[in-house]
A and B are shown apart, each in its own frame.
Chain A
């Protein structure tokens, strides 16, 4: 990583807009979003249900296409790339933690964590996966299938998977949404610890005000617009 990059934002958007057609009406979900996230920052995007949080997250990760506007991820204009190049960029730069965990049911815990490493053809995937699972406290459950794990344990596997490729940016979508509050707190603690250890930038999408306050900066979204 060169010096001048360190001072550049890891993620910034330009007039990001998303509209969808519902019959003959056009519905604006996001309107002219201007957003900048610097390396090492922890940013919470908060808003009520239907405010466009998840749509924004999908666009930031290049999982969806905007109606207009740009997203720069690690200095790359992601919508100038084709779908495959965006996938490769995601594999290199991004880590995900989802509300519904999104573990592959046919894979064991360790195999789930190994998956992004194998896709990126990284050597010693198994060692890395094992180390990470031990780090999240699942050293004894490496060969368990998702359905044999509790919700909290599944989310720990998902967090280990998110950090497996040592991403620059971690995107978390309501990571405690499917967990009870005590487990939720533990998961969030774990995520912030790992975030610090790895020096990862964090963008967290939530409707939970308390959770959002754990991030250094909060960005509020209402009716598809940023509210400062």
Chain B
């Protein structure tokens, strides 16, 4: 027999007869949820990545201390990427007798590939209103030099002045307010100037031994950029390295990665919800197909025939439902994107097809993992059921079936989370939750029903019903509990994530750094802040020292020849500071912070840099500070929250050790945009102090956080919808039984309200149990995920219990009463006839 054809016919008939409604709804919501999240996250992610790349001026940089060979640019162009190059060096610029050490950047056509250079009229210095700032249209022309405000101020320049750069002269034509790569890294804090690459040779500044950084800027399709990355990686020499935005800015990297993880978490939550809905819906499906299978068995169908019948049936159902889900997901995502126009400034890139494949696969795994195993048990239904309707399937079969589904779901999670740790945490969390919820549910139901003789009318019947449907009830409570738990975890983490971002980067986060403050300027500077009604910032001392020995053994850059990053750190001077208290954005991860007033030579080091220069707790580091040696033992390692934009140091020592060395001070503070002219006054009053403006970076990150927060909230709507599917499936699962029960009760003279009160009691108990499970599970899982995966300061929220239980009770009660309305209103005889 052509099983496939018969399966399709059966599927068609069941579909038409509405037998598949619950299963279909659960599957379609799940797949469309996953696809929507997938499509949307994909688009937002690439848009965010592209926007943050504006800070870098490109999607990717190849950086070298030697001129870069042509092959890099050639390969990038071959891959269809845009390229531009840039050369950076430090040199004197002179205006008459005044000289200033300036960072000169020579650029080629096309610079910057991402973001814009912003220029201003000279008068902008005084008022700095936004209106006078405009975007540059191209790069400096031949013979022209664009300078920043610091150079303008210190060399007392105005547009049209001619300056000496090396052996040539260039005319100042523009004032640069902002340039994309300025804010990347705080290394370059001095005045800056930009010239055309064609003028660079004329300056004669590039000599043997001069310190020059050559950069190749690359931008284009993410896929091509990745291809280039893969190709270039093995080609890089020691002197060359690649940098994307993630390599360059730890705070952006952290924010991006967290939001990506969160979005995939939201998608996973809808998978859990769908699994719960399908597990519930399939129970009803098998109940409804028992008779049919028994008839087919009595008509001569073999187990093998039924096996293939249902395999084909479910494969076809999965493909159809998942395809509908994917299409709906795509449409929903289009609407969402349209609705959120302005969410991201740049046009959202077109999504790729991967989320559709994922949606399809997820749908199939869910259906085949959760629905097929219990359905396949149908083949062993005793044919005797045609004569005796009380004969059914044993529950042991369905439990084994769910185990298979669980295994399938676990694999799906680990794959979908794209993070083994996150995937495993969720899988283990859910397995533990199912086991604990199931066991507890069973016990609680037994316990509660033993109390039923003390309970009043409606409660007694409610408890009796729950007890009678014990397996169904436990399954419903577990599924509803899991669904609610997923929603609660998501809400908890979402709030924490957004709060954490907002607290680490509040609207008044420091947007300016002051560097090179001298000890005798501390007092006048404080006064300056007070005079202008600005909050005086906290000053951090800073002593510069070169690391020369580790545990008494001399170190040199050559020891780190295999690691460019480490080599750079060894060549450069470290900034050391002293402090008696641990910064609020610092956390000791190894060892212990010193006691107040310690006289010991201790130091605390940031864990990342410790790893880079290969030192551990207990090692003794020796620094050369202005010719004298300073040694201290590492007694603690710190983790720094780079999201905060506060002043932070890799190396900190207790007070009293470094005070005799030459120190300068550094601070960061917030200046509202309206008060920006104070910064210019400060520059004039304290000409030696370097002012670093990080407002651009802060704005970008804040904007990104805003966008991601919105995206997260919208994605949550889909998870919520999937939650409703679970609720629907849970109520529908016992619908047939309930209709029959109602008919008997009513035939025996029960009034509608008596019956609905008994059911309400049942729903309240069921909802309360699932709310309880969900709150307990969400608190535990939220803690684990928040702490170990998203690295948040997770706070236990006692309200979660009240919220969880209330939502559970209200949700199940409302859905239950709405869902059973028809059972109450249909005439008993009609129902009894239909069922009999």
Contacts and interface: CB of A to CB of B under 8 A. Distances in A.
Given A102-B291, A106-B19, A107-B13, A84 B387 contact: no
Interface string A71-102: 00000000000011001111110101010101
A115 interface: yes
Given A54-B387, A111-B9, A104 B300 contact: no
Interface in B367-387: 382-384, 386-387
Interface string A142-163: 0001010000000000000100
A120 interface: yes
A83 B302 CA distance: 8
Given A58-B384, A63-B386, A106-B17, A100 B298 contact: no
Contact of B300 (A88, A106, A145): A88
B299 interface: yes
A87 B300 contact: yes
A105 B836 CA distance: 13
A116 B1 contact: no
A127 B834 CA distance: 31
A91 B301 contact: yes
A119 B305 contact: yes
A190 interface: no
A91 B302 CA distance: 10
Contacts of B384: 58, 63-64
Nearest to A151: B833
A119 B299 CA distance: 8
A1 interface: no
A145 to B, nearest CB: 8
A102 B305 contact: no
B257 interface: no
Given A54-B387, A102-B291, A90 B299 contact: yes
Contacts of A147: 834
B236 interface: no
B302 A100 contact: no
B403 interface: no
Contacts of A84: 302-304
Contact of B295 (A64, A102, A111): A102
A106 B301 contact: no
A104 B292 CA distance: 6
Contacts of B721: none
**Most chain-A CB neighbours within 10 Å: which of B16, B17, B305?**
B305
Interface in A188-203: none
A63 B389 CA distance: 13
A77 to B, nearest CB: 18
A104 B301 contact: no
B17 A118 contact: no
Contacts, number: 85
A120 B387 CA distance: 22
Contacts of B300: 87-92, 94, 116, 119-120, 165
Interface in A165-217: 165, 173
Report the contact-size class of chain B (Cβ under 8 Å from the partner).
Answer: 20 to 34
A133 interface: no
B470 interface: no
**Most chain-A CB neighbours within 10 Å: which of B9, B16, B19, B302?**
B302
Interface in A112-154: 115-116, 118-121, 145, 147
A116 B297 CA distance: 10
Contacts of A102: 291, 295, 298, 386
A61 interface: yes
Nearest to A59: B384
A106 B298 contact: no
B302 A96 contact: no
A98 B388 CA distance: 11
Interface string B814-836: 00000000000000000000101
B14 A106 contact: yes
A61 B300 CA distance: 11
A116 B389 CA distance: 21
B17 to A, nearest CB: 5
Contacts of A64: 382, 384
Given A87-B302, A102-B291, A111 B13 contact: yes
**Most chain-B CB neighbours within 10 Å: which of A54, A98, A104, A173?**
A104
Contacts of B301: 87, 91, 119
Contacts of B304: 84
Contact of A90 (B298, B387, B834, B836): B298
A104 B302 contact: no
Contacts of A61: 298
Nearest to A116: B299
Interface in B520-567: none
B387 A106 contact: no
Contacts of A226: none
Contacts of A111: 9, 13
A44 to B, nearest CB: 17
Contacts of B295: 102, 104, 115
A81 B433 CA distance: 45
A57 interface: yes
A115 B292 CA distance: 11
B592 interface: no
A116 B13 CA distance: 17
Contacts of A104: 291-292, 295
A92 B299 CA distance: 9
A91 B305 CA distance: 13
A96 B16 CA distance: 28
B305 A106 contact: no
Given A118-B1, A121-B1, A100 B836 contact: yes
B617 interface: no
A118 B306 CA distance: 12
Interface string B281-304: 000000000011001111111111
B477 to A, nearest CB: 30
A87 B386 contact: no
Interface string B635-667: 000000000000000000000000000000000
B589 interface: no
A89 B302 CA distance: 10
A173 B292 CA distance: 18
B717 interface: no
Given A58-B384, A87-B383, A98-B387, A119 B296 contact: yes
A108 B387 CA distance: 22
A56 B6 CA distance: 33
A9 to B, nearest CB: 22
Nearest to B1: A121
A57 B295 CA distance: 15
B1 A119 contact: yes
Contacts of A108: 13
B436 interface: no
Interface in B292-343: 292, 295-305
Contacts of B17: 105-106, 145
Contacts of A118: 1, 6
Nearest to A120: B300
Contacts of A145: 17
B299 A58 contact: no
A150 to B, nearest CB: 12
B198 interface: no
Contacts of B471: none
B451 interface: no
B298 A96 contact: yes
A39 B14 CA distance: 40
B579 interface: no
**Which 3 pairs of residues, A with B, have the shortest CB-CB distance?**
A91-B300, A121-B1, A116-B299
23 contacts: A54-B388, A58-B384, A63-B382, A64-B384, A83-B303, A84-B302, A84-B303, A90-B383, A94-B300, A96-B298, A96-B299, A98-B386, A102-B291, A105-B17, A106-B13, A106-B16, A106-B292, A111-B9, A111-B13, A115-B299, A118-B6, A120-B1, A147-B834
Given A64-B384, A104-B291, A119-B300, 9 more contacts: A63-B386, A63-B387, A83-B303, A100-B836, A106-B10, A106-B17, A115-B296, A119-B296, A121-B1
